[in-house]
Structure formats: C-alpha cells, structure tokens
C-alpha cells in the first residue's frame, strides 16, 4: 500500500530525523529515499516558513498529539517549489515514551497554483468591476446586494454600504414595473440567460430614471446558482433625446 500510493509516506524519530521514506519521494521532491534519511523535514522547507513550521512541530511533539493537513512549501532537488499538505501521528515505546512520528505528505501543487490563479483572476475582475464605466450589481437569490460598484452608486445615489445594508431592490425598482422585473428574475433563475430589459428605476432622491439592465448568473460547476449579476446603464437622457 505504501509503495502504490501517490502520496509520500515517511517516519521520523523523536529528534525529527527521517528513518523511513517511501520511494515516491523521488517523484515528488527528486530525492532517492536514502538521500533524506538522517535529515529533518526542516531541511527541505523554504526559509520563510521554517521558523513557523519548527515551532508548530515542537508544540505538537511536546503534546505528543497528531496533526493534519499542515500546509508547507518544500524545495525540490531541482529548486522548484512544491506545495504540500502534511499529516502525522505519534508512536510510542511500551512505556509510553514518544518515539517519533509517522505520516503522509500530499503534493497539492497543482491545486494550490490553480487556487492562486483563481484568486488573482478574481482580484483582477474585482478591480475591473470597480473601474468599469457601467453599473455593476451582484445579488444573492433573495435580491440582497453582494457587490455594488461606484457607477451603481452614481446612477442610483446609494453608497455601497447603504446598498449592502438596505433592501435596495425594493427602493430602486418602481412598483408599476416590479412584476415585469420579477418575471425577468424568475426566467434567469430557471436558466434563461443572459437577459436584457429596459426598466424604470428610482434614485435615492426620488427621481425616476430609465435604465438598461443585462442579467446573467454565476454558477457552481454543478449548475447551482451562486449569484445573479447585473450590468446597469442609465439611458434616461438618450430616451429623452429620442422623444424630442
């Protein structure tokens, strides 16, 4: 089982020295098992994490307890970084004295890099949303605001704090078009998207304005809706110029 798992199985003594390593360490870190025997886990950890990891392990060993899914960054023999999740359990002699730890390291590099890339993209999107010259509003399924950019504040007169705190939906949608908007809302939840509509809205100071709405959804991979996003463009002046 040890030799067939894709994870790295290891054993260290009470001094933190490796006494056993499964052969797949070569695939994960580029070392043969015999090359790490007598070394400690801290010999492979990046310098910026070494102090924290050593202190963490000292506390765990002092209490003689197991630990699980400790995130740490190791350095491959060729110099590249390998991101790991480490779990371990203590073992004892017949008198109950701590003899060392046996554990498992899981290479999560691919997952970690994917998560970091996603976070970076989310940060870029968030910055883009703040700067885009059109109103952006993100709602949960109860029509509560999740996000609200500065242009939305300019259009409707409510700050982001007010939008997050108050029931803004009922304040910016006129009663006589509420049923029309609810119909659009239900259609997009049922899977019909993206949707577009021209809706009469109300600002914080009571003005009636005309806005063009574009609605779509944010969904989990399985299809569950996480949020509904709307792009809002005020076209009141354009509508008036057409009327004239």
Task: Give per-residue pLDDT as tens, 91-147.
Answer: 999 999 999 999 999 999 988 888 787 777 667 666 666 666 789 999 999 899 998
Counting DSSP H helices and E strands in the chain, the numbers are: 9, 10
C-alpha dihedral, 84 to 87 to 91 to 96, nearest 10°: 130
Query: What gap in Å lies between CA 112 and CA 110, rounded to an integer?
Result: 6
Q: What is the pLDDT of residue 239?
A: 53
Q: What is the pLDDT of residue 238?
A: 62
Residue 169: its H or E element = helix 168-172
Task: Give per-residue pLDDT as tens, 71-96.
Answer: 999 999 999 999 999 999 999 999 99
8-112 with 132-243: one CATH topology?
yes
Residue partners of 219: CB distance under 8 A and separation at least 6: 225, 226
Per-residue CA distances from 52 to 8, 48, 118 (Å): 22, 8, 26
With bands split at pLDDT 50, 70 and 90, how would you rate the model's confidence at 159? very high
Q: What is the pLDDT of residue 58?
A: 92
Residue 35: its H or E element = helix 33-36
CATH architecture of residue range(s) 8-112:
2-Layer Sandwich (3.30)
Q: Where are the beta strands (DSSP E) in 55-207?
A: 67-75, 81-92, 98-107, 135-139, 145-148, 195-202
Query: What gap in Å lies between CA 168 and CA 207, rounded to an integer?
Result: 15
Q: Is the entire prediction scored with pTM above 0.85?
A: no
**Sheet of strand 81-92: strand arrangement:** 18-21, 8-13, 98-107, 81-92, 67-75
CA Rg value for the chain:
28
The burial class, CB within 10 Å (0-12 / 13-18 / 19+), for 56 is middle
Q: What is the pLDDT of residue 219?
A: 83
116-136 CB burial, b ≥16 within 10 A, e <16: eeeeeeeeeeeeebeeeeebb
Per-residue CA distances from 23 to 2, 6, 130 (Å): 9, 10, 50
Q: What is the pLDDT of residue 14?
A: 92
Range of lowest pLDDT (121-130, 169-178, 183-192, 227-236):
121-130
Q: Where are the domains of the chain?
A: 8-112, 132-243
Q: Domain 132-243 belongs to what topology?
A: Beta-Lactamase (3.30.450)
State the chain's mean pLDDT as an integer: 88
């Amino acid at each position: 089982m040890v030799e067939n798992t894709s994870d790295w199985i290891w054993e260290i003594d009470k001094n933190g020295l490796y006494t056993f390593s499964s052969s797949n360490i070569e695939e994960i870190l580029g070392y043969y098992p015999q090359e790490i025997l007598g070394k400690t886990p801290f010999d492979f950890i990046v310098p910026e994490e070494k102090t924290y990891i050593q202190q963490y392990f000292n506390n765990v060993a002092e209490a003689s307890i197991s630990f699980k899914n400790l995130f740490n960054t190791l350095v491959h023999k060729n110099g590249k970084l390998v991101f790991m999740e480490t779990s371990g359990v203590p073992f004892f002699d017949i008198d109950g004295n701590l003899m060392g730890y046996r554990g498992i390291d899981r290479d999560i590099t691919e997952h970690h890099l994917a998560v970091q890339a996603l976070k970076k993209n989310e940060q870029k999107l968030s910055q883009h949303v703040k700067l885009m010259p059109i109103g952006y509003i993100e709602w949960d399924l109860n029509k509560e605001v999740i996000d609200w950019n500065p242009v939305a504040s300019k259009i409707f007169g409510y700050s982001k704090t007010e939008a997050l705190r108050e029931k803004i939906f009922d304040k910016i949608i006129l009663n006589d078009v509420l049923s029309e908007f609810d119909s659009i809302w239900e259609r997009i939840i049922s899977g019909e998207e993206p949707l577009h509509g021209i809706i009469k809205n109300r600002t914080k100071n009571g003005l009636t304005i005309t806005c063009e709405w574009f609605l779509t959804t944010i969904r989990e991979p399985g299809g569950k809706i996480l949020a509904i996003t709307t792009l809002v463009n005020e076209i009141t002046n354009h509508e008036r110029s057409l009327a004239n």
